[in-house]
Amino acid sequence: MSIVAQHHGNQAIAWFLDQARKTEGDVDPDDFAYPGQPPSSREAAVVMLADSVEAATRTLKRPTMSRLEEFIREIVMDKVKQGQLDRCELTLKDLDAIRNSFTRILAGHFHSRIEYPKVGREQAR
């Protein structure tokens, strides 16, 4: 099975499940699950984690390094708890390296930047 088909696994789509629970009460989580299968390779699992982490961190406003680390840890551990990584061969050491890589990469994305002064074309030459 391809990585694309496995990158969402078969977990419930949390936002839609939460909305349904708020409006309808008791609902079947399977009704809100992706139709795929959990990743069966290390590569597919990394793509799943990268997709989930990237999408979720877009919701953060001015995250600190410690908040980013914790948020990424929660996302990865949620996948573990849901059994989404049971079919791949990632070890806890692998997950730690993946989390550290994601944190380092996303910290670079979120770091604050100075505001550069506006320079006219004449001054730039």
pTM: 0.79
Q: DSSP secondary-structure letter at 62?
A: S
Render each residue's pLDDT in the chain as its tens digit; 125 residues.
Answer: 589 889 889 998 888 999 999 999 899 989 998 988 999 999 999 999 999 999 999 888 878 888 999 999 999 999 999 999 999 999 999 999 999 999 999 988 776 554 556 766 555 55
* Integer Cα distance of 96 and 91 in angstroms: 9
Residue-level pLDDT at 15: 86
Residue showing tokens 């004449």: 122
Residue 33 in 3-state DSSP? strand
